[in-house]
Structure 1
Amino acid sequence: MLNNLTINLSSKILFIAYFLIALHFPLKHTGGHGLYLPFNIICWIFISIIIGLGLFKIGISRKIYFSKYFLNCCYGFALILIPLTYYNNEHSILSFNKIAGFGFGIILLFALKQFRFNKKDNLHLIYLILMGILIQGLLKLCTQTLPNSQFLSLISNLDFGAMAQKNIFATFLATGITISLALISLDRDHSKFKNMIIFSIPLVGMTQFYPLQSKMGYISLFLGVGIGFMASMKKGKTIAIWMGCLFFGYLIGMNINRLDRSNTDIKHSISTRISTYLLTCEIIKENPFFGIGYGNFLSTFRKHYADRKASDSSIQTIGNNNMNHPHNEVLFWIVEGGILSFLGLLVIAGGLIATLWNGRRKKGWIFLSMIIPILVHTQLELPFYISTIHWFIFIFIIFMIDNELGNEYELDATKLGFLFKSFSIICTSFNLIYFSTALHTAILITKFERTGRIDPSILVKVKNSHAWQKKYETTIMKLDLEIAKATKDKDKLSSYVNWAKNYLNHSPYLFIYYDLAKAYELLGHGEKGWEIYNQAKHLYPGVDWKDD
């Protein structure tokens, strides 16, 4: 029979398995975000089991533990959900993963509370997270310094791993570095092994900052380490050694080839980001109370940008990429959900600030420094959508803050024991099936695309198209169109036209405009085809259009 000790031990073994092994599997993919990236699916499998164990423990202990901050999160999330009832949410299903991910984070916070981890347990787990970060840094360093090594063949697919995007990798390392600094003050038991991890993180991590040339990484590191230093409860020799490792690591990194970008590219990137923020704020001003509706950012932003560009040519040309996110997490929730979503975020953030402020303030600042790199990243990009491990680490550090500084409450759950056991087993089983089939789908679609899209029979084996909703749907419809064009099947062409017109209402992808225009042309509706073509020209002024 499972008991409290067995469940806690299982959770620690799970941490070991994920952070020391599973995190580092380089799985090939076709790009994108969320569940399109297989390493994110693996992380969600890990999170699902952790949540399941936490809920199962309620059934064993017959007690429910929660905090005041958890209640703040529930109140805030309830406010975020209310906009789903608004009139403008006909495409809210497109935000399912975004909203579900937020909810899972709150449930994860609650589940972690049930394990009753003490300070020693929390430190053991945070050291495991640091070891995972250290392994990622060492693997990358090996590919850079041992180019002719046979070891390279084992990790040659690292560019398909969780840290392939440079800003994601940079804030991952920056988070590890700030955590290592915080542990100098938070952990009184500095064994030789722990010291090795604490000093290795800045040494190895800093070797990557010069090669990466990530402004995001530098900003997040500077702020995180700066706050950590100001709040540090230990000075002297230990801090001096840590600083020496930080400096020496950067010197080593200066001898590694860096990822250079031209000044023109850098200026264009900055201008595009600023323009994105300004245009998003304009949309918010037009829809301050109700927002534009969950799932509508992609289409609304593209249309607003096109209209503004048509009336004012001085506006920065943003390009042809699909703008799914304004590169600022707060703006994203406000623009889609309106004032209530903003209030929900304020309730959640305010609860965390209150927890830090009401606790031991110096220790609170140290804890705050640990989440600063990821927090800063969320205001300048979209790390939680690209890397689920960033989301997990963020939630775990908040759990540590709440566990150390927050108020805790206890409820008797004697009569609910069986219910929680059953619920945890059912939910965990469902999640494992869902994410396992999502991983299988990811492998199949990646295989289909990387083999030249020549074998549609691969797609027949897909078991979970929901996880790849938009990618799978557009791929299938593209294949149908190709068959219709080859066979001159007007029924199939008409079917594609009807689908494309509806699809473009929420996802105005350039390639669909092109295919829709072709479909109209093949149906003998040339004028309608040109109308679609001109709509695309309006929405995508950055394309080098050639009127044939």
Structure 2
Amino acid sequence: MQNQRLSPSRILEGLLFLLFVISPFYIKSSIGGTGFDLPFNISVWFAATLVIGFMLWHVASSDTITLPKNYLYLLMLPAGILLSAVIAGVVDPVTWLFRILYILAGVIFLFGLFQFKSLSVEQVLFFIVVSGLFVSIYGVVEIHQWQDFIGDWLPRSNDNLPTTIFQQVNVTASYLATAILIAIYLLFTQSANTKKLIQSLLYSTIILATYVLVSSGSRTGLLSLGLGLIFLLLGLLKSVIEHKAKFSTVIVILLLASWAGQAGFNRTADKTYKLVNAENSEARVVIYHAALDSIQSSPLVGHGIGSYKKEWLAHSPDWYEDYSTVDMPYTLGHPHNELLMWAIEGGMLAVVGILIALISTIWFIARFYGLTSLAYFSLLLPISMHTMLELPFYISSLHWFVWLFLIFVTLRNIVIDKNNQLSQMARFSIRGLSLIVGLVSSLFLLQTALAQKDIIDFVYGRTTEQPLQRALINPYFQAEARDMANRSVLYYAIENGDKQKIMQLLSQFQQELDMNPDLKLFEDVINGYEAIKDQEKSCFVAKCALKIYPWNGGLEKYIATCSRK
């Protein structure tokens, strides 16, 4: 009994509970964004580091290695991306490094799951449902603005929208849609002697998550949930017919929860109207045209990881004359479609690798499970669909690990065993490496959390003895912190009339603009020249900026004043 309780699979279940249920709820104020800009991603990666480290340790101790039968096809995804990344070169070293580590960690996590044959998949799926329940409760608090009753330690959202830990409505919606589908899946596949408490939590999650999802007005969430329900019910048709009372209960719950959150349908209808409205649909057209232009200029290996923003600025102005009245974002970091993103940054090498992995997974699952495969596809649908419309993996690392776990769920019965032919030295090295990587990663994540706090304190004007000091030595936040520090020095010099310091900073900023034509940097340079009364140069810089940011009305207005100066 003791050995079973402390078996590797039980330990992994505990670590996955930490990953899916505990770590996402490191709730701190932030300025929004992606990656480690959002504090919960830091704690998620801390838990993921423990999980991956334990997986590597276990592999080094095992006599066999279990792999999905399509493992060679799955490996085409990281292989294609890594190959294109090496050939295309390094555009942004920090982005390149973290993106590669993100993918490699995901590969180890996915393949590591197959090594734990007695892992209770249903229990871990239940963990994800519980996580969805907690997110739903947070969403209810935001919708009704109940922070006044529980304290301001929970950040408030704008317009009473449930942004929750993810600080973005659609990311919340796709996560809740996934949790709802998993809860329904468990209701129809669990054994008859499942505890009443677990069943109650499953029903509670369906109720609250549906209410929050509908209230959010997220088209992405509602559409993926609707399609997912159709796939799930078709895949579990036999079980649904056998449990008609349970099916009726689920339908009634979904309808009642949807009715309670019906105000969200008005937002959904409004968003749908805007989507088909010419101006809003044309914005997508510009994004896709610019993306295709970028792909055509380097179709095989792409432009390198981290190059999208630069490519957007290079190609989007070409479409200004045809779409000058469209309300476009001034800058863009992602084309809101993951395949397009990798086609631009990784070229056909990356895209072909992704498609091989995707198609092989669909093929193996469909052949093995038949009609039941639709139930498994339904669990993957919300997050997968979301990647084709936005950038959930960049905003939420939790989505990444949940999605990978669901892929494991679909493939866990389609496996082959191979002898572990690692030498004793290799096994010892892997164990040592797992400890070193775990320790280094934990220290880095701790320092990153402190650096993120530095950024927040600086933005909100909280007095500290050494502002941005920890952020300035952090690899992830260093560039952002340096820009903030330089900008602060510039405006301090402007306020105090320090012309020499202004000229020194302007020279530095001009050099940076050649490498990084950032809109905020253009604004700083223009304001700097304005401060020293060099209007000729300020107008020249503004005209250069408008060529790159043609939809910027503020620049147009400023240039219009140049002729009168």
Query: TM-score, length-normalised on structure 1?
Result: 0.89
Which residue of the other structure, out of 157, 162, 187, is the alignment partner of 2:190? 187
Shift in alpha-carbon separation, 1:211–1:162, aligned structure 2, 3 A = same
2-side partners of 1:524 and 1:86: how far apart?
47
Shift in alpha-carbon separation, 1:470–1:269, aligned structure 2, 3 A = farther
Partner secondary structure for residue 291 of structure 1: coil
2-side partners of 1:505 and 1:190: how far apart?
67
What do residues 230-289 of structure 1 show as CA deviations (whole Å, max 9, x unaligned)?
211412222222112111211222378976868886545444234312321232233322
Give the aligned residue type for 1:421. Answer: R
Partner of 2:523 in structure 1? 514
**Which one has more relative contact order, counting CA pairs under 8 Å at least 6 apart?**
1
Partner secondary structure for residue 66 of structure 1: strand
Spell out the pairing of 1:509-548 with structure 2 (5 A cutoff): 509-520=518-529, 526-545=535-554, 546-547=557-558, 548=561
Which residue of the other structure, out of 431, 434, 438, is the alignment partner of 2:441? 431
Partner of 1:133 in structure 2? 132
Which residue of the other structure, out of 367, 371, 384, is the alignment partner of 1:375? 384
Spell out the pairing of 1:76-115 with structure 2 (5 A cutoff): 76-86=77-87, 89-91=90-92, 93-115=94-116
Partner secondary structure for residue 237 of structure 1: helix
1-side partners of 2:437 and 2:260: how far apart?
48
Query: Any unmatched runs of 5+ in structure 1?
Result: none
Partner of 1:364 in structure 2? 373
1-side partners of 2:534 and 2:88: how far apart?
35
1-side partners of 2:173 and 2:254: how far apart?
14
Shift in alpha-carbon separation, 1:345–1:351, aligned structure 2, 3 A = same
- Contact 2:231–2:375 (CA under 8 A) maintained in structure 1: yes
Query: Any unmatched runs of 5+ in structure 2?
Result: none
- Contact 2:29–2:155 (CA under 8 A) maintained in structure 1: no
1-side partners of 2:183 and 2:338: how far apart?
26
Give the aligned residue type for 1:226. Answer: I
Partner of 1:165 in structure 2? 168
Moved more, 212-221 or 192-201: 192-201
Partner of 1:197 in structure 2? 201
Shift in alpha-carbon separation, 1:456–1:316, aligned structure 2, 3 A = farther
- The reply to whether residue 397 of structure 1 matches residue 398 of structure 2 is no
- Contact 1:520–1:528 (CA under 8 A) maintained in structure 2: yes
Which residue of the other structure, out of 178, 194, 206, is the alignment partner of 2:181? 178
Which residue of the other structure, out of 244, 258, 276, is the alignment partner of 1:250? 258
- The reply to whether residue 409 of structure 1 matches residue 413 of structure 2 is no
- The reply to whether residue 307 of structure 1 matches residue 318 of structure 2 is yes
Partner of 2:23 in structure 1? 22
- Contact 2:280–2:326 (CA under 8 A) maintained in structure 1: no
Shift in alpha-carbon separation, 1:13–1:222, aligned structure 2, 3 A = same
Which residue of the other structure, out of 264, 274, 288, is the alignment partner of 1:277? 288
Query: TM-score, length-normalised on structure 2?
Result: 0.87
What do residues 367-413 of structure 1 show as CA deviations (whole Å, max 9, x unaligned)?
11101000000000000111111111001101112212344434233
Moved more, 75-84 or 457-466: 457-466
- Contact 1:284–1:334 (CA under 8 A) maintained in structure 2: yes
Report how far residue 313 of structure 1 moved. Answer: 4.3
2-side partners of 1:467 and 1:78: how far apart?
25
2-side partners of 1:353 and 1:502: how far apart?
49
- Contact 2:472–2:479 (CA under 8 A) maintained in structure 1: no
Partner of 2:123 in structure 1? 124
Give the aligned residue type for 1:28. Answer: S
2-side partners of 1:204 and 1:470: how far apart?
41
2-side partners of 1:156 and 1:338: how far apart?
40
- Contact 1:39–1:161 (CA under 8 A) maintained in structure 2: no
- Contact 1:64–1:412 (CA under 8 A) maintained in structure 2: no
1-side partners of 2:423 and 2:351: how far apart?
38
2-side partners of 1:466 and 1:374: how far apart?
29
Report how far residue 510 of structure 1 moved. Answer: 1.4
2-side partners of 1:6 and 1:476: how far apart?
51
Which residue of the other structure, out of 234, 238, 261, is the alignment partner of 2:239? 234
What do residues 31-80 of structure 1 show as CA deviations (whole Å, max 9, x unaligned)?
11111111111111111110001111123335443334343333321221
2-side partners of 1:315 and 1:70: how far apart?
49
Partner of 1:422 in structure 2? 432
Shift in alpha-carbon separation, 1:92–1:307, aligned structure 2, 3 A = farther
1-side partners of 2:535 and 2:118: how far apart?
68
Shift in alpha-carbon separation, 1:400–1:189, aligned structure 2, 3 A = farther
- Contact 2:447–2:470 (CA under 8 A) maintained in structure 1: no
Partner of 2:474 in structure 1? 465
Partner secondary structure for residue 65 of structure 1: strand
2-side partners of 1:478 and 1:409: how far apart?
57
What RMSD in Å do the two structures reach over aligned CA positions? 3.1
- Contact 1:299–1:506 (CA under 8 A) maintained in structure 2: no
Partner of 2:224 in structure 1? 220
* Count of residues in correspondence between the two structures: 543
Partner secondary structure for residue 539 of structure 2: helix
- Contact 1:182–1:367 (CA under 8 A) maintained in structure 2: no
- Contact 2:63–2:419 (CA under 8 A) maintained in structure 1: no
Shift in alpha-carbon separation, 1:499–1:126, aligned structure 2, 3 A = farther
2-side partners of 1:460 and 1:163: how far apart?
27
2-side partners of 1:254 and 1:353: how far apart?
35
Shift in alpha-carbon separation, 1:437–1:464, aligned structure 2, 3 A = farther
Give the aligned residue type for 1:379. Answer: M
Report how far residue 515 of structure 1 moved. Answer: 1.3
Report how far residue 114 of structure 1 moved. Answer: 2.8
Report how far residue 3 of structure 1 moved. Answer: 10
- Contact 2:142–2:156 (CA under 8 A) maintained in structure 1: no
- The reply to whether residue 447 of structure 1 matches residue 457 of structure 2 is yes
